[in-house]
């Protein structure tokens, strides 16, 4: 509320005090308002003051114009007033809905919150802030398949099950599972998992689809038995990391889980048997070049043979570890490709090619860097290129890293960029 | 006065009942009559509470009705207020009650935390 408007409203509200009150105080109060800089708070405060003065019998005129009501009539009047306020409020919202001011979808170029490619590369899930599913089989003509009625809002990337039929999204402190096998006109909710103290910050399905991992902003990771998405049960809670869990990745064999935290570590967990989940090792990430940035973003990716684990932070620094013996991981390369950092609304994503010889990274929604991985210890940068059609915000790689999906710089069609 | 307190702007948080507008206004008037805006700036300076005009005049009108403050003659559209003998008595009573709370709180925090 601008000061001139606040000043005008304040003066108007002084006129709303009871007449007898005004006769005594209005001139002084107006004088004080001239010296004071009225704000929205001043306006609210005067409104409350006027109401309370009206309720004060001392300021009532000798003959009060209000009709004296019996107690039951006053109760009825109060109930009717509350119902009227609700009715007017709902009517307003319904009218807004009719005007198209409510409900999804929002134009994608307004910015999206999260994104994920389906394992078959034919569908993209977008948090916008409702859950939208896009058919991207034809890369040149992506098509919106459907969207959820409610909003998801959180900025956590969703996760597809390996068969692409179930999608996990973060709903604040809970995880929501959606049936996305046929998302037209709407994906349907299968289950809402029990809430945890922290907010959900990362999600991943195991390669066999039986286990779902959710990482929280208090450093915990929860493993869920998701074999039956309608009856999910908790298997275990993995603790010990400090700071937000920023990324989760299962190894291709499904025996290992890597969890990255904003505290600058990646923990490796042996999850082969639910009965014996063990912490194998903790890897240290390079410190961010811009330490002032809150909640550094991290991407994790295992090579298809499970021998290598790659991490990238939003400064574009890539680290490769040999995790052939996950109890004794060895850092084999740290790459500083010197790309512009992602920035506060930018994203970082990482993908190994199907053969494992190429690693592709995207930082800040537009800078794509490719590395050649000819063997452990032999990593070279091939190219850095800039995408022009993707706007700011989250991005997602198709499996193998051949296509990037993101919000468009303009318009309402999902932006897809095939990479050479 | 206490510069350190001026960060407590806007809310009564942290001062609880000690930020009761009536107590603040009576305290402000204790060292001499003041008009509305002068009370606001004085209260902000010594307590860090930034009182809005609606709160100030709500409290002033109640204090005046109870006979704890008295309006003086208007000077250039501003009306100064002075504290009455009854007002001084009430303020002394409030201060004594607060002192009692402070004394017990001091003792108990010393016992509990050894400070």
Instruction: List the domains of chain B with CATH numbers.
Output: 3-113 (1.10.10.10)
d(CA B91, nearest CA chain A) in Å = 23
Closest Cβ–Cβ partner in B10, B53, B65 for A29: B53
Contact A146, A383 (CB under 8 A): no
Predicted confidence (pLDDT) at residue A310 exceeds the cutoff of 60: yes
The nearest alpha carbon in chain A to B37 belongs to A32
d(CA B23, nearest CA chain A) in Å = 18
Mean pLDDT of chain A, nearest integer = 86
User: Is ipTM > 0.95 here?
Assistant: no
| pLDDT level of residue A161 (50, 70, 90 thresholds) | very high
What SS3 state is found at A365? coil
The nearest alpha carbon in chain A to B41 belongs to A36
Quick one: pLDDT at residue B16? 47
What are the tens digits of pLDDT across the range A53-88? 888 877 776 555 455 666 787 778 878 888 888 888
| Mean pLDDT along residues A91-119 | 75
The nearest alpha carbon in chain B to A33 belongs to B53
Predicted confidence (pLDDT) at residue B9 exceeds the cutoff of 50: no
Contact A412, A363 (CB under 8 A): no
What are the tens digits of pLDDT across the range B86-105? 999 999 999 998 899 899 99
Quick one: pLDDT at residue B6? 33
Closest Cβ–Cβ partner in A25, A35, A41 for B57: A25
Residue B49 touches chain A, beta carbons under 8 Å: no
The better pLDDT of the pair B78, A322 is held by A322
- Domain A108-418 class in CATH: mainly beta
Show me where the domains of chain A are located: 3-98, 108-418
| Element containing residue A71 per DSSP (H, E) | helix A71-98
Residues 6+ apart with CB under 8 A from A168: A158, A159, A161, A175, A176, A177, A178, A203, A205, A212, A214
Mutation site for B-interface testing, chosen from A20, A25, A28 by largest number of B Cβ within 10 Å: A28
Quick one: pLDDT at residue A96? 67
What are the tens digits of pLDDT across the range A260-282? 998 889 999 999 876 788 999 99
- Using a CB-CB cut-off of 8 Å, the residues of chain B touching A42 are 52-54
- Using a CB-CB cut-off of 8 Å, the residues of chain B touching A10 are 53
Closest Cβ–Cβ partner in A10, A27, A36 for B77: A27
| Mean pLDDT along residues A149-164 | 84
- Using a CB-CB cut-off of 8 Å, the residues of chain A touching B49 are none
Burial (CB < 10 A; 0-12, 13-18, 19+), residue A198, is: middle
E strands present in chain B: 34-35, 69-71, 80-83
């Amino acid at each position: 509320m601008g000061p001139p408007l606040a000043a005008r409203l304040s003066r108007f509200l002084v006129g709303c005090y009871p007449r007898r009150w005004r006769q005594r105080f209005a001139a002084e109060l107006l004088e004080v308002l001239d010296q004071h800089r009225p704000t929205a708070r001043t306006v609210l405060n005067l409104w409350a003051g006027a109401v309370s003065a009206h309720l004060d019998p001392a300021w009532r005129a000798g003959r009060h114009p209000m009709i004296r009501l019996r107690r039951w009539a006053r109760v009825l009047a109060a109930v009717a007033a509350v119902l009227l306020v609700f009715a007017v409020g709902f009517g307003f919202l319904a009218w807004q809905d009719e005007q198209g001011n409510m409900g999804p979808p929002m134009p994608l170029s307004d910015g999206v919150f999260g994104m994920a490619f389906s394992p078959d590369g034919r569908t993209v899930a977008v948090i916008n802030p409702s859950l939208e599913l896009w058919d991207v089989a034809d890369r040149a003509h992506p098509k919106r398949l459907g969207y959820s009625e409610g909003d998801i809002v959180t900025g956590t990337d969703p996760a597809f099950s390996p068969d692409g039929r179930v999608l996990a999204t973060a709903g604040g402190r809970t995880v929501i599972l959606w049936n996305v096998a046929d998302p037209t006109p709407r994906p349907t909710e299968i289950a809402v998992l029990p809430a945890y103290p922290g907010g959900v910050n990362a999600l991943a399905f195991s390669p066999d689809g039986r286990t779902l991992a959710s990482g929280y902003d208090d450093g915990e990771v929860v493993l869920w038995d998701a074999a039956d998405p309608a009856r999910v049960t908790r298997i275990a809670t993995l603790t010990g990391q400090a700071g937000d869990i920023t990324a989760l990745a299962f190894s291709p064999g499904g025996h290992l889980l890597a969890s990255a935290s904003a505290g600058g570590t990646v923990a490796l967990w042996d999850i082969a048997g639910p009965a014996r989940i063990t912490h194998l090792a903790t890897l240290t990430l390079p410190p961010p070049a811009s330490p002032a940035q809150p909640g550094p973003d991290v991407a994790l990716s295992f090579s298809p043979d499970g021998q290598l684990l790659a991490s990238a932070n939003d400064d574009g620094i890539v680290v490769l570890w040999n995790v052939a013996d996950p109890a004794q991981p060895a850092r084999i390369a740290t790459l500083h490709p010197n790309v512009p950092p992602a920035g506060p609304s930018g994203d970082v994503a990482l993908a190994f090619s199907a053969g494992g010889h190429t690693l592709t990274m995207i930082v800040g929604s537009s800078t794509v860097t490719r590395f050649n991985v000819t063997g452990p210890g032999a990593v070279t940068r091939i190219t850095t290129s800039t995408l022009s059609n993707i706007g700011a915000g989250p991005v997602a790689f198709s499996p193998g890293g051949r296509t990037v999906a993101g919000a468009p710089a303009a318009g309402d069609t999902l932006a897809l960029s095939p990479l050479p | 006065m206490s510069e350190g307190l001026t960060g407590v702007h806007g809310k009564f948080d942290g001062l609880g009942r000690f930020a009761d507008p009536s107590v603040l206004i009576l305290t402000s008037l204790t060292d001499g009559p003041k008009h509305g805006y002068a009370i606001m700036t004085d209260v902000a300076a010594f307590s860090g509470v930034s009182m809005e005009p609606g709160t100030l005049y709500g409290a002033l009108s109640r204090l005046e009705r109870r006979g704890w403050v008295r309006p003086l003659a208007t000077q250039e559209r501003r009306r100064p207020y002075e504290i009455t003998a009854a007002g001084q008595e009430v303020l002394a009573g409030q201060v004594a009650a607060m002192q009692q709370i402070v004394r017990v709180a001091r003792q108990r925090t010393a016992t509990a935390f050894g400070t």
